[in-house]
Amino acid sequence: YLKKDGKNNGTYIRIGATNRKASFDNIVELERQRRNISYDEEENFEYALDTFDLNVLYREFEKIGKSCDAEKLKNMKLIKNFNGTLMATNALSIVFGKLDNVMIKCARFKGTTMETFIDKKEFTGNLFDILEESIKFLQNHLHLNAKIEGMRRVEQYEIPLLALREIVLNAIIHRDYTRDSDIKIAIYDDIVEIISVGGFVNGLTIDEISNGRSELRNKIVANLFRELKYIESWGSGIAKIDKICKEKDIKFEIKEEVSFVSIVFYRKNAE
C-alpha cells in the first residue's frame, strides 16, 4: 500500500492486467492471508454449538458409507475448543446456513432483460439443501431434449446439468462469506448466468484458473465438501466444465470483477 495514504485508503490489488483499489473487505482478507488463516476457520461467537443439529452432517457422511462424530468435526476444524468450551467455527455456521447471506436467489426472466419475472425463489438452510434446490430450479426452467440412441430414448438438458452443478457447487464453496451479498442464478431466454460473491482469491486470473490453478478462500468448507466427495480434486472443476461444454457445443464465459465472478452459459435453443 501507499504509505502516505495509509493502509485503509492506499491499498491496491492486482486483478488481471489492472491495479484496483482494495476495499475494506479486501484488506481484512489480506490480513487473514498474512496470518495463514481463513475466515471460515475462525470461531463463531454468535451461535452456541447446541443450536446446530449435527445429525445433518452425520447423515451426509452416512450417505458415502463413512462415520462421523464430534471428534471428527474437531479434526476438520468445524468445531474448536476455545478456553475449554467447544465452539462452532464460521465454517459450521456457513454449512448450516446460520449467516444471513447463506442464500441462493434464483430467477427466471421473460425475454433477455430483468424487467419481468416468470418465476423466482430464494433458497436458505444448509448448503446441501441449497445446492439441491438450486439444481431443481434450473431443471424446471431449462429445455429437456430427447434423441434416439439405438433402441432407447435418451433425454438431456440443453445445458448439461453436470456443468451447471459444478458451477453452483464452486460458487457455494469458494464465495466470499464476509460480504453481505448472496449467490444469484438468473435464467433468460438467451443465457443462464450464475454470479458468485467475491473476486478470485489472491489475484488469480481466468487463464490461471482455466489451467487448473486453485486457491482456497474457505479452507474448512472446501475440505468438508471434498471429504463428502462432492468435489474430486482442487482445480479440476473448470477443466471438467470446459470438456463437457465442448462435447455438447455449449458456449460459456467466465467474467470477473472486484466483488463478484459471473459464469454465463449461452442457450443453444433460445429461439
Q: What pLDDT is attached to residue 233?
A: 65
Question: In the chain, which stretches have pLDDT less than 50?
Answer: 271
Buried b (16+ CB within 10 A) or exposed e, 36-64: eebbbbebbeebebeebebeebbebbeee
Rounded CA gap, 187 and 242, in Å? 20
Residues facing 86 on adjacent strands: 81
Q: What pLDDT is attached to residue 72?
A: 95
What is the DSSP code string of 242-268?
HHHHHHTT--EEEEE-SSEEEEEEE-T
Q: Give the type of residue at 256.
A: E
Q: What pLDDT is attached to residue 68?
A: 94
Q: What pLDDT is attached to residue 10?
A: 84
